[in-house]
């Protein structure tokens, strides 16, 4: 997993820091909906990538096929809501981008693993009992985004890129 350089992002809100305990009901609902959408997105990514991997593995195992290897990358790009003050009509409006390389055994940990990645360490935290998918975990724990900025997400674009590889010995 790697994160895109922040120079490519829109300006982060430097406003009041918001703790999980201070989230309103509407904000908690939005975050819960975002997590559910990301869980469904990860299931879709896993299904699509497993199909691609199956096709590519057949090609690699075919002695008459040109393909030697492949790389699969999955980008999740989080864009601002259109009503955000920093939204610009002729801009990508990227708030954050997550890149995940996909391998045949990627499903054991990371995107689409079905595990709970909520690592809240304190007992009285209001989100301690929520199940977080990998992508939501990265957003909330590793992206450097606080709740205020996560609440600015208006859409998510998913790009799956396959790189075909051929090695030639001289």
- pLDDT tens digit string along 110-134? 677 777 677 665 555 556 567 778 8
Query: Smallest Cα–Cα separation from 135: which of 27, 1, 3, 38?
Result: 38
What is the Cα–Cα distance from 159 to 77, expressed in whole angstroms? 8
Return d(Cα 84, Cα 109) in angstroms, integer: 34
Task: Give the per-residue pLDDT at 1.
Answer: 46
Name the average pLDDT for the chain.
Answer: 83
Q: Write down the pLDDT at residue 122.
A: 54
Where are the chain's structural domains? Answer: 2-165
Model-level pTM greater than 0.85? no
Tens of pLDDT, residue by residue over 52-99, are 999 999 999 999 999 999 999 999 999 999 999 999 988 899 999 999
pLDDT at 79: 95
143, 96 Cβ separation under 8 angstroms:
yes
Arithmetic mean of pLDDT, 125-145? 77
């Amino acid at each position: 997993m790697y994160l895109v350089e922040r120079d490519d992002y829109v300006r982060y809100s430097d406003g009041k820091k918001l703790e999980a305990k201070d989230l309103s009901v509407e904000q908690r609902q939005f975050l819960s909906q975002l997590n559910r959408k990301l869980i469904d997105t990860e299931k879709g990514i896993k299904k699509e990538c497993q199909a691609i991997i199956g096709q590519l593995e057949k090609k690699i195992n075919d002695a008459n096929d040109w393909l030697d290897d492949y790389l699969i990358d999955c980008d999740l790009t989080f864009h601002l809501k259109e009503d955000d003050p920093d939204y610009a009509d002729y801009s990508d409006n990227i708030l954050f981008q997550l890149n995940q390389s996909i391998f045949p055994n990627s499903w054991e940990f990371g995107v689409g693993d079905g595990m709970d990645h909520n690592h809240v360490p304190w007992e009285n935290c209001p989100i301690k009992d929520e199940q977080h998918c990998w992508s939501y975990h990265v957003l909330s724990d590793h992206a450097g985004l606080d709740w205020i900025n996560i609440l600015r997400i208006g859409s998510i674009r998913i790009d799956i890129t396959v790189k075909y590889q051929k090695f030639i010995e001289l």
